[in-house]
Every structure is written in C-alpha cells, then in structure tokens.
A and B are shown apart, each in its own frame.
Chain A
Amino acid sequence: MIRMTTADAIHLALREEMQRDPRVLLMGEGVATKRADLVRDFGAARVRNTPLAEAIIAGTAVGAAASGLRPVIDLLFAPFLAYAMDALINSAGKLRYLSGGQFEFPLVTLAMTGSAWCVGAQHNHNLEAMFVHAPGLQVLMPSEPADFKGLLKTAIRDQNPTLFFTDMALLYQEGEVPQTSEHLVPLGKAAIRRVGADLTLVSYAKTVAICMQAAEQLHAQGIAAEVIDLRSLKPLDEATVLQSVRKTGRLIVVHEASGLCGVAAEIAALAATQAFDSLRAPVVRITGPDAPSASSWALEQAALPQADRVVNAARELVARGTSGSNTNLHIA
C-alpha cells in the first residue's frame, strides 16, 4: 500500500492502463498539458489535447471505441456533459443495442462534480442519476483513492461505455492505495465501510465520509449504523443493500445530488419492493435540494447533507422502529 491523493490514484490508473494496453488513449481539454509525463512516455498520438468542444470529443471517442481503440475522455466538469449527451446517450448507450450487438463501446468519460470549490452550478452539478437512467451506460462514483484507481482500471478494461465521476472534494484527499498494477475493483460491488445492526446508511462519493462521521456520533449514543458505499451506481449492488436492510430494518440514503428521481429514490424503491417485510420504519432520503448549486461556500454547505442531519434522522428512525409505531407502515 502507498499513501496518495485521489488525483494521483486516477493518474496512476491511467498510466498503468496505457502501459498495459496500447489501444488506450486519452483525449480532452488539457490532458496533454496537464499530464505531460504520459505524453512523454506514450506519445502525443495517445494523449491528445482537444478543442473546447465536448460534443466532438465524446463523438470521436464513440467512433474510436467502436473501431478498436479504448478511449478515455476528460470532459472536466460534469455540467459540460450536457454538450456531449448525444454521443454518450444516443450513440454509446444505444448503438450496441440498435445494431443488434454489432458494435461495442469500451470508453470511459471522466468528469468532476460536487460542492467544494465554490464554482457554482455550471461546474458543479451531480447529474449522475441522469446517466443511470440512460440504457447502455455504466456509472461509477467512488469515495476512496484505492477505489478511484481500482474502479477506473476496471472501467478502462470493460467493454461498456462508462461515466466516471470524481467528487471534487475528494480530489486531494489521501488514502492507502494498493501498489499492484492489477488492483482491480469489480463493477457493481458495493463496499461495507462500517458494520452495524441498528440501521443502514447507504451513500456514495463524498457523503460516505459524512455517513461515517454520523455513524461515529451514533455509536457514542449506543446506535450501531452500517455504512454502505455504493461506488458503482450502475451496475448497482442490490444484494449488499438488501442484505443490510433485511438485517437492520432501517434505511437512510444520503447523497449530494437532488432527490427527485435520484439514486436514493431507486434505493428506497428497492427496499420497499424487495425488503418490505424487514422494514421497521419508513425509508429516509437525505439529499441535496432541487436547486442549482450556489457558489457561496455557506450555500454549498447548506445544500450538502451534513452529519447532524443524518444523526437526527437516524435517532428518529431508531425511536420509531422500536416503539411499535411501525405497525402503521404495514396497513393491509
């Protein structure tokens, strides 16, 4: 293990995969400028600066992926993906299906999002659920440097088009990362960050740490929270979530993205449809508001789910789930 930042873990994953497979190439706004060592070691043909034109960067990646290359594109900030939607959703996501399986699109799209840098809503927009909703695409959003490395490497080797989101707040956080160039984290496998029997906290990206803080505070109050880091939003590890909910009977889903039709809604529906009899209290969602992200640090923090909200919700759930009042949830 070696200690490094998320940014370094991403860079290492790119370097190792470019070393391993000559078909891997990197394209985007400033990738050659910012990753000069990759240009030096792998050549300018494989590390390409592009015009500020997301639609053609993504479209070119789609065409290249179907023609034998394995592109990774860096579109910088998640809201810029709006310009790339046709290539990602209509082409990468649909043309395997519409062609009856004639083409595959092994491509990875990198984008940053999340509050932290006070950049406002046109650089910070957690729109991961939009891509979860689009068929044919995979969506990853890790929380720890080791997973940034391991999941990115797996995504680059995978045959499906993948959106890989980096929460800006995590970019310079450090963690222990396996040194081996075969550190691969499987897609669709959640990580249980903390084991507990009283309630389940499900989250991903930076709000995993918030759930961990909340769990620590709850522990001091005699409540044992289990914390699940989804890491992969699509494919989704339903089994790990359901197993935990069936054990604890209480579920809180926490994420920074707005709640309406979001990942938390899907997790809540999963629990309601497949673990209903285990639920001892209603599912709670703690999410960002249905509002663009403000630039002001104070408003960024106000939008972000905080540990005290999670703690308060957890205490209410535990009180409710042990007082017998949950019977009203099972009206026949």
Chain B
Amino acid sequence: MTATDSHLRLRQLETMLLIRAYEEQLVELQRNGAPGTCTSVGQEACAVGVIDVLESRDRILTNHRSAAHLIARGADPGRLMAEVLGRVDGYCGGRSGSLHISAQELGVVLTSTIVGGELSMAPGVALAQKMGQGEPGAITAVFFGDGAACEGVFHESLNLAVQWQLPLLFVCENNQWQAFVHRRETMADEAIASWARGHGLDTQRVDGNDIEAVQTAAKDAVAKIRATGRPQFLELVTYRLRGHFEPDDQAYVDAAELKHWQSRDPIHLLREWLLGAGLADAAAIRAMETRVRARVADALQFAQASAWPEAETLTEYVYA
C-alpha cells in the first residue's frame, strides 16, 4: 500500500464513521418519536468503496437504505437530517422523508423505496447517457439488495441492460435480509451473481465488509463499463446489522449470526487494519470520531432549526 492509498483509506474511514454517527443519531431521534428509517449500519464499506471510484459525471440510483450512498457521495448531513424530519431545508423540501431522498446536484437521482423500483428506472438513465444526454463517457450505478433481486423486475432490468449494452453498474448489497425475512428462506442459492451470469453479465462477488475488496472490484467493473459500454454486476456480501426499519428490536435475528457479523463490522475491520499496518494511531482515529460527532451535532441543530413546509405548499410539485 502506497502513501496515497493510506491517505485514501483514512478518508474512507472518516466517511464511514460519519455515516455511522449520522444513522446512530437518527436511531436516537426515533426513540423519541421521529419518523423511522432504514439504516445502512454494517453496509458502509459497500457504499464508500463503490462511490469512491465513480466520477461526478456518473449517476447513482439508490433505495430506501440510502444514507450511506448519499453521504459517500458528499451529501450534507444537515440537509439529509432536515429531510428525514420533514423540514423545508431537506434535499427534497421535506416531501421525501428518509425513504426516497434524491439529490440531483450530487447525481443521486430517482431514489425509489419500492423494492426493485430503482432497478426498473436505472436502464433508462443509462440509456439517456448512451444516447448523448449528460456528460460523455458517464455511467450509471444502481444500488439494491438481495430483496430486490427476488423481484421480477430485477431480471427484466439485467436482461435489457445486456441486450441494449447499457453503461450500467449493478451493485447488489446482499445483506442477507429482505425486510423481516432471511435470504435463506427466499432463495435456493446464497448468491445473486449466479442469476446475473445467467443473463450474460460479467460478475464479481466479493466481501462487502472489506473496503479494499469492494473498491478493487468496483474500479475494475467501472473501467470495463467505460471501455466497452456494457453493463457489469457486482455482488457485495454483507450484513444488515440493525433491523429493517427503526425502531426494530431484531428479536427475529439469529444471535450467533448477528454476533459473527458484528465481529466483521466494516468500520472495525478498516480501523484494525489501519492500526495494524501502522498507518494510523489510536489518537488520530479518536480525533476523527470527535470530528464526525461534531458534524452530526451541527447537522441535528440545523435540521431541528429548519422550518416545517408551509401547508399551502402541500400540492406544489405534483405537476410540471
């Protein structure tokens, strides 16, 4: 690992810590009655590892579990939190809440909370790129989970992307949970990538909690898309460490399995690796943690100070 790499990994750790602190703050708010969210706790390496290899010209589609993708892309935690709280300074003016946040200015477009909805729209975004809209050479990345892979539109989306040769990166965060049902109850095989291969896609299946593995695979996939214009499929094997939707006591989760994956927490793995390799010391990481806590405190203050949308704006934005 070079000095540049170590600098990159430190920055990535800070982003992952920010995502974690932001979502933990939301969980705390929800204990006190704020609207619930679907957190990405445990899946931060997937978001940061992939989004770090995308460029500003690229487009991202995400889903209900979107905070990690948005923050990895540079979203302001204050505007995100304002959106979750339904305030006017949120990215969507409070219309979205936590479940469908998109931010055109960040290239995070058309977020759908309908599982599979993002997969249905992603080929169109990539088709527009292929047909000359947006910046030349841009690609689209669509984030979804194993739950969405069990929707019929998953197969329709992959099939069309292959047949039309769309510049589309499918990123499946296989977090083993489909709302309140474990993946093993819904699929004969544990891998999504084998389905993708059946549609003629090049696939990579890597440890989604190992940011280096994620980033290496993503970099390779993105380079292939830019070189060939053809879609690629990335399966990131990870685990949803919190419940489907806060608050959720996870009483239905196998304790041993949860414990196993907690020991493989992507933030923990990266921190230990950086410490072990002598690329960071404990004080530096503590300073990072202090910085992200301060940012989240500022975000909360900003969000809570933001006004509610005016009632007379209720039907704004329905029609162009």
Contacts and interface: CB of A to CB of B under 8 A. Distances in A.
A322 interface: no
A222 interface: no
Interface stretch (B66-74, B153-161, B201-209, B269-277): B153-161
Interface stretch (A84-92, A112-120, A202-210): A84-92
A86 B156 contact: no
Contacts of B114: 86, 90-91
Contact of A61 (B95, B122, B124, B318): B124
Interface in B176-211: none
Interface in B55-95: 59, 61, 90-95
A53 B317 contact: no
Given A67-B125, A69-B131, A96-B317, A91 B112 contact: yes
A324 interface: no
12 contacts: A51-B163, A53-B160, A63-B61, A71-B124, A87-B120, A91-B120, A96-B319, A99-B104, A100-B95, A101-B93, A101-B317, A102-B92
> Which of A60, A64, A66 has the most chain B CB atoms closer than 10 A to its own CB?
A60
A312 interface: no
B216 interface: no
Interface string A63-91: 11111110100000000000000110011
Interface in B289-307: none
A82 to B, nearest CB: 13
B124 A55 contact: no
A64 B110 CA distance: 11
The 6 closest A-B pairs by CB, nearest first: A63-B124, A59-B120, A67-B128, A68-B133, A100-B93, A159-B320
Contact of A59 (B91, B92, B93, B157): B157
B320 A96 contact: yes
A62 B121 CA distance: 6
A184 to B, nearest CB: 17
Interface in B89-107: 90-96, 100, 102-104
A277 to B, nearest CB: 29
Interface of A: 23, 25, 45, 48, 50-51, 53, 55-56, 58-69, 71, 86-87, 90-91, 95-104, 106, 135-136, 138, 158-160
A97 B128 contact: no
A59 B125 CA distance: 10
A67 B134 contact: yes
B117 A63 contact: no
A58 B125 contact: no
A158 B122 CA distance: 23
Nearest to B164: A48
B36 to A, nearest CB: 17
Given A66-B110, A90-B112, 14 more contacts: A56-B123, A59-B121, A59-B157, A61-B124, A64-B128, A69-B128, A69-B133, A87-B121, A91-B110, A91-B117, A95-B102, A99-B92, A100-B93, A101-B317
Interface string B102-143: 111000011110101101111111111101011000000000
A100 B110 CA distance: 12
A69 B100 CA distance: 22
B109 A66 contact: yes
Given A55-B120, A59-B153, A62-B121, A103 B160 contact: no
B106 to A, nearest CB: 11
Given A56-B156, A102-B92, A63 B318 contact: no
B112 A95 contact: yes
Contact of A99 (B102, B122, B126): B102
Contact of A101 (B109, B122, B316): B316
B160 A50 contact: yes
A93 B316 CA distance: 13
A51 B161 CA distance: 11
B152 interface: yes
B120 A56 contact: yes
Given A96-B320, A98-B92, A63 B133 contact: no
Contact of A68 (B102, B111, B128): B128
Contacts of A25: 131
A104 B320 contact: yes
Nearest to B157: A56
Contacts of A45: 131
Nearest to B90: A100
B130 to A, nearest CB: 8
A100 B317 contact: yes
A63 B157 contact: no
A101 B104 CA distance: 10
Given A63-B128, A69-B131, A96-B318, A51 B110 contact: no
B143 to A, nearest CB: 14
A99 B100 contact: yes
Contacts of B123: 56, 59-60, 63
B153 A102 contact: no
A87 B121 CA distance: 8
Nearest to A69: B128
A332 B311 CA distance: 35
Contacts of A60: 120-121, 123-124, 127, 160
